[in-house]
Amino acid sequence: MSEAAVSEKPTLLARNPLDMIASAHAVQVEMCDAMERIADGLPDEVDRRLCAQVASSLQFDLPLHHHDEEEGLFPLLRARARPEDAVDKILERLACEHDSDNDFASEIAEALETLGQGGRPANPEMLGYMLRGFFERYRRHVHWENQLVMPLARLRLTRDDLAQLAARMNENRRQAG
């Protein structure tokens, strides 16, 4: 085996990119569950490692996932959707939610980083309120994507579309890395 072949990393998206998005959704629900545990433990019973993990996910994984959907999945779905699918308004709303979720996630991540490093929240009640507001809303967001967008994507996207989506997602990871 050549040296180049040994050093090559396997392609991140070797599977169906829609399965990767669905898997990311499952991880995001777990992240919401973790945020709920953090909120329940405030101010004194907080898992510092969990705070750091959630902060990292909010800062890096969530925006990358949103980018995958907005730059990859949503445009392909718009191109393949039929008029009766009425997908434009749904995708527009989800993209708007992504923007506000990214902003809100960034604020929460800062507070969770402080907790992860052993600090205490300046206002535990406010942080708990922010966490609950985010995870309740985000669980609904993921539910809508799983119930409306993903089945339609599996129905409408072609093999070529999936290859395009995988390429876009790989490029997103290359740029983020």
Q: Is 9 inside a domain boundary?
A: no
Question: Which residues span the domain enclosing 172?
Answer: 16-176
Q: Is 7 inside a domain boundary?
A: no
**Could you give the CA distance from residue 9 to residue 109 in angstroms, rounded to a whole number?**
30
CATH number of 34's domain: 1.20.120.520
Side-chain-facing half-sphere of 9: CA atoms under 13 Å: 5
Q: Is 10 inside a domain boundary?
A: no
CB atoms within 10 A of CB 77: 24
Q: Is 118 inside a domain boundary?
A: yes
Each residue's pLDDT tens digit, 129-176:
999 999 999 999 999 999 999 999 999 999 999 999 999 999 999 999
Q: How far is CA 108 from CA 32, 67, 127, 135, 145, in A?
A: 12, 20, 8, 11, 23
Q: Is 95 inside a domain boundary?
A: yes
Q: Is 151 inside a domain boundary?
A: yes
Stronger pLDDT, 6 or 117, i.e. the higher one: 117
Q: Is 153 inside a domain boundary?
A: yes
Q: Is 157 inside a domain boundary?
A: yes
Domain tally, the chain: 1
